[in-house]
Amino acid sequence: MNKLIIAGAFALLATPAFAVPYCDVGPNSEGATADFGFGPIGEEESAKLAEQELHGEGIKAHDTRFWNGCIQTFVNVDGRDEMQFYDPNNLRRVPVN
């Protein structure tokens, strides 16, 4: 019976881990500096560049950062800010499972 309770508790705690987006390669996924060919830049500058690229695609992103290899940003949808994730390589939206 104790094993069943422990297994159930573990399943409940582990479930949110499957709902996290993951991108294979982000410009600064390891916390190091990124190098886009014009010298190494930090995460803050990389996030600003990513936000500009999203704006170029018509996505009104703000408060952008990198998380789990993805671009994490906020987009105003129907008057509310919604957290969204994008692949830094192709700017496609990454669904949260």
State the Cα–Cα distance between residues 37 and 47, nearest whole angstrom: 16
Q: Is the model more confident about 96 or about 37?
A: 96
* pLDDT tens-digit map of 86-95: 998 899 999 8
- pLDDT attached to residue 12: 47
- Determine the residue type at 57: E
Global pTM reads: 0.66
State the Cα–Cα distance between residues 18 and 82, nearest whole angstrom: 20
Domain extents in the chain: 22-94
* pLDDT tens-digit map of 15-72: 444 566 777 654 444 555 555 555 678 888 889 999 999 999 999 999 999 888 889 9
- pLDDT attached to residue 55: 96
User: In sequence order, what are the residues at sequence separation of 6 or more whose Cβ sits closer than 8 angstroms to the Cβ of residue 86?
Assistant: 50, 54, 59, 70, 71, 73, 92, 93, 94
